[in-house]
Chain A
Amino acid sequence: MLNFELLAPELTLAATAIVVILLDFVFKRKWWLAAVSIIGLAVSAGFTVSMWGGGSVALFNNMLAVDSFALFFKLLFLVIAALVILASAGYVAKFRRFQGEYYALVLLSALGMMLMAATSELISIYLALELTSISLYVLVGFLKDSKSTEAALKYLLLGAVASAVLLFGMALVFGFTGQTQLGEIAGAIQGMSLAGVLSSPGLIAGMVLMVAGFGFKVAAVPFHMWVPDVYEGAPTPITAYLSVASKAAGFAVLLRVFYSAFGLPTWLSLDWGMLFAILAAVGMTLGNVVALPQTNIKRMLGYSSIAQAGYLMVGLATVGFASAGDVAGRSGLLFFLASYALTNLGAFIAIIAISSKLDSDLISDYAGMAKRAPLLALALTLCLISLIGMPPAAGFMAKFYIFSGAVQNGLLWLVIIAVINSVISAYYYLRVVKVMWMDKPASRAKVPSPAALRVALAVSCLGVLVLGIVPGFVMKLAEMAAQMFAF
């Protein structure tokens, strides 16, 4: 018995994507396409919200789970996609062709991400991942200039390598356990003796290869090399999209796979917990240190996102170290993702507005932006402060939440590294703030921004403040989502 209404959010999104492509032939005014996309996203979000609290249901022979965890992420992706589309409206209007395809591809990749968060079976995970990735490959190359094309090609080739690695890992895990459904894999592993697992290295190898495959998606060191080039070359709204949605989807899958399939026995979870802890330490240090000398703000935020992936991995490490019933690590990760998504989107949206006027991504060209575009500068400042992790912005609460969970589970050393890293990161984030507020502007010309973009920016900044000042509600949601791991 199939409950199609449980797939309503995904079906709505798929239908909207098709409708948008068709309407592209009809409408002369292309901003209608953005409006239709937003409506589709809103309807889909409505379905998602209405399912909240309905318990966990498995679909298609346990391939797909509809649980609070999946719903939390679906909502997050829908919000991100809506904000990206709002922010793109002005940007895309400059394209002469393929505007409909742009929106449709954003919607389809969002659909892929929603499926990624919901799948509980290796093959469907792979399919969802590919649906997401292929849409994104196209979007990265959408500008068709040399940089954008180069970025897309690099992303495609490296992405293909990562997919291959991931498939190889999945194959090993399957070969070792004979199962592809996460819960059944867990059962198979727990049914084996410790000696049995140790004598056949295939399981560990499969796990590591899967870490590598997903690590590519979340920009974890050492699978991060594509990030700066692709971020710099891609259309800025897509960079924003990549940096938050794609990363969040990667973490959703990582969390589900490792918690559900490899969560027990304890020695195994300690093993991968340690792996993530080390990746976290390396990732944040490398990301932050390399971000220091950057002069291009998109590249800087690229490295910053590598560092943020490191902070997020602190949460994954905590999940590995915590006992299976401890919800703090998982919910901390979810809260961090939500706050990071809003923050980074806000920063990128401000950059879209400023850079498209300046026609430059150089930090030095942001001089005196506080005089030329006070609200944009203020918003960007707030987001950068949030990225550092200072109150009253969301980033502070998120870091506090995730780090306190790590300390409670004996990862003090990792938190010390993370805090030192936060201090280093303050330097390059605040440098942008200083340039905007202290330096003399190169010209007096105001920087205008389209209304839709301003709405998107206002929403993100408001979200950053709300999560920073009254985080209770979202924390509650994250806790509920983290508890409802059905499969």
Chain B
Amino acid sequence: MPSELVWLIFLLPLFSFVIISLFFRPFLNNRPKLGGYITIAALLGSLGLSIWALFEVMAAPGHSIPIPDINWVVIEGGLTIHLGLILDSLTAVMLLVVIIVSLMVQIYSQGYMKGDPGYHRYYAFMSLFTASMLGLVLADNLLFVYVFWEMVGLCSYLLIGFWFHRPEAANAAKKAFIVTRLGDFGFLAAILLLYFNTGTFDIGQLNTLAAGGALAGTVLTWAAIGIFAGAAGKSAQFPLHVWLPDAMEGPTPVSALIHAATMVAAGVFLVARTFPLFAHSMEAMTTVAVIGGFTAIFAATMGLVMTDIKRVLAYSTISQLGYMMLGLGTGGVAIGIFHLFNHAFFKALLFLGAGSVNHATGTFDMRRMGGLRRFMPWTYATFLIASISIAGIWPLAGFWSKDEILVSALQAQPILFYLAMITVFMTAFYMFRVVFMTFGGDYRGGEEGHGKPHESPAVMVMPMVVLAILAVVSGFWNVTGQFGALFGHGHTQGFAEGFFGILTHALPWISLILAGLGILLAYAIYSARWLSAERIGAMFKPLYTLFLRKYWLDELYEQVIVRLVLLKGLFAAFQAVDSYGVDGAVNGLAKGVMASGKAIRRAHSGQLQLYGLFIGIGIIVILACFYLFG
């Protein structure tokens, strides 16, 4: 197949968006199912193409295929803007992740969103999001990456606020948009810094320049840190993580696609895409590793105490994204991206499970659930698989990628390694806390008046089963190091040990034991009730409150930074300058311009002789100028 077809991967969902918003919503609003069908059809097309692309990339020398550019604007001797795509191993893997998860989520949404009045709007946004995300992954120059970066942010905003009549949803959407924008500012600054120093937006060229040492020193460090600031905003890394838990106000399939598997991983992807820039700056690498490692444990602590199932998953996502950053900062592209790859499937599955549970009980509050394993066996089984996978139990997917990260952390930053080990324990604990509280014990009634819980329809269960299979097997890709080889990655201790071979090392056993202990503790408290949760909560009251109130960061941001510093300080000052200084000047200028306009208009009195005279005077003045100055 010709490589131009790669364009279609990105264009198909875009077409679906255009068709839904231009034709289906205005004219076929009474046939809502069409929107879902066309989205799914477009994604199936993209899926086929991206699988083909992956095989091509695997076979190609250097694991990269050139795609012909499209010249968008060419000005002779001036600016030239190409629309270009990259197709390398990173892109191919990301395409697969985005499309598979998106496809599963779209199928699932047919059940979850059934009967919603905004069904077409939902699928239009989802298509647009998928297209933008694919564009982000494929774009070969930072300018277009930035455009798509903002597009996915916009779609995220629109989808978090999908039920905009609920004030929480509208506020959460706004918060997500504003907080991520802070990071984007750094990203934009980095793009400009790079452009002014190298004269190019092309990622391939920038990476080559960085690898060759032509781009180095302070410029490189600041550019990398600016890019990381953007990545930290998108991937909800400390201290810009506060938007992600609130973003759970959106429909649950949206959380699964955007706020678990794909968009939030875009930050990790961006760092991986520009990795040579980071690799040649010690400071940048350390920043990435430290922020990632810290976020991993920091978010996990808050996940321990939440009672809203989606919030637990949200903190878990932040924590896992921290792992990926840690992997990038200490190991390399393959390690971070491998975890991204595995995480996408099991975390999307967990969210879809949470959505299914919500479908059955009408609530997200785990204190009102319990005993659901009897009512919804499929949801239970798949959720359990995902939980085992994320806890990192051999031989499920999570185990393989988490261990790579642990190994590389141990080699590069021992302190972060110990933090990560504690996080392993916490992860297993909070995940199984969710499992036992939701599915174990007896049913505690759900939402008032929601009726008896029931298994979700097949259209929702089927995608979960598919994702569950992936949550088991996706890690096998690297059992013998093939995934790492795709990225041209050198061998670390964990790579290529074989299916059982890896168990001959000490480190996997330690992490397995820690995870087991976490599961055991969760069992002891929430299932067997050997220990009382309340008693433990009372014992560690200060810590418990600290976690539950999310370290008071929301309050800090809102009360102190927004209210005091911005509203009372800066904005008030700006307003004073604006209303007295700028407005005065602008009004004065406007009056002056208007007055001169009127004065000149008076010269246009309609007198023919006068007009003729002006022509004559004009000629004489020009001639005089020529002879005097020319």
Contacts and interface: CB of A to CB of B under 8 A. Distances in A.
Interface of A: 153-154, 157-158, 161-162, 165, 201, 204-205, 208-209, 211-212, 216, 221-223, 225-226, 228-229, 271, 275, 286, 289-294, 326-328, 331, 397, 401, 404-405, 408, 424, 470-472, 475-476, 479
B593 A472 contact: no
B622 A290 contact: no
A470 B83 CA distance: 12
B604 A225 contact: yes
Given A424-B593, A472-B74, A223 B615 contact: yes
B256 to A, nearest CB: 34
A404 B78 contact: yes
Given A208-B619, A216-B615, A475-B73, 17 more contacts: A204-B626, A212-B615, A212-B622, A222-B617, A225-B611, A229-B606, A275-B626, A289-B593, A289-B596, A290-B600, A292-B597, A293-B601, A294-B601, A326-B77, A401-B75, A470-B72, A472-B74
Nearest to A482: B76
B618 A293 contact: no
19 contacts: A157-B612, A158-B611, A161-B615, A204-B630, A208-B619, A212-B618, A216-B615, A222-B617, A223-B618, A225-B610, A226-B611, A271-B630, A292-B594, A293-B598, A404-B75, A405-B78, A472-B74, A475-B73, A475-B75
B608 to A, nearest CB: 6
A472 B630 contact: no
B71 interface: yes
B1 interface: no
B608 A154 contact: yes
A96 to B, nearest CB: 29
Nearest to B604: A228
Question: Which 10 pairs, one residue from A and one from B, show the smallest C-beta to C-beta distance?
Answer: A222-B618, A225-B611, A292-B597, A293-B597, A404-B78, A289-B597, A212-B619, A290-B600, A290-B597, A208-B622
B627 interface: yes
B623 interface: yes
A229 B594 CA distance: 20
A208 B626 contact: yes
Q: Could you tell me the dominant secondary structure of chain A's interface residues?
A: helix
B79 interface: yes
Contacts of A223: 614-615, 618
A449 to B, nearest CB: 22
Interface in B3-30: none
Contacts of A229: 604, 606
A418 B120 CA distance: 45
B597 A275 contact: no
A476 B617 CA distance: 41
B628 to A, nearest CB: 12
Contacts of B608: 153-154, 157-158
B601 to A, nearest CB: 6
Q: Could you tell me the dominant secondary structure of chain B's interface residues?
A: helix
Contacts of A226: 611
A39 to B, nearest CB: 33
Nearest to A469: B72
Interface of B: 71-79, 593-594, 596-598, 600-601, 604, 606, 608, 610-612, 614-615, 617-619, 621-623, 626-627, 630
A286 B600 contact: yes
Nearest to A221: B618
A472 B600 contact: no
Contacts of B619: 165, 208-209, 212
A290 B604 CA distance: 10
B172 to A, nearest CB: 31
Contacts of A326: 77
Given A275-B622, A290-B600, A225 B614 contact: yes
Contacts of A228: 604
Given A204-B630, A205-B623, A328 B615 contact: no
Contacts of A401: 75, 78
A222 B75 contact: no
A227 B596 CA distance: 19
Nearest to A322: B77
B234 to A, nearest CB: 26
A221 B604 CA distance: 13
A292 B614 contact: no
Contact of A331 (B71, B76, B596, B615): B76
A226 B613 CA distance: 12
Contacts of B71: 472
A419 to B, nearest CB: 16
A471 B74 CA distance: 9
B613 to A, nearest CB: 9
A228 B600 CA distance: 13
Contacts of B74: 472, 475-476
Contacts of A476: 74
B73 A271 contact: no
Nearest to A227: B604
A74 B337 CA distance: 58
Interface centre among A212, A291, A294, by most chain B C-beta atoms within 10 angstroms, is: A212
B615 A162 contact: yes
A271 B626 CA distance: 8
Contacts of B618: 212, 221-223
A221 B603 CA distance: 13
Given A154-B608, A201-B627, A229-B606, A328 B593 contact: no
A297 to B, nearest CB: 15
A476 B601 CA distance: 41
A157 B607 CA distance: 12
Contacts of A201: 627
A286 B604 CA distance: 12
A475 B72 CA distance: 11
A271 B208 CA distance: 47
A212 B615 CA distance: 8
A211 B617 CA distance: 14
A158 B593 CA distance: 29
Interface centre among A154, A205, A225, A405, by most chain B C-beta atoms within 10 angstroms, is: A225
A470 to B, nearest CB: 7
Contacts of B75: 328, 401, 404-405, 475
Given A271-B626, A289-B593, A293-B594, A154 B615 contact: no
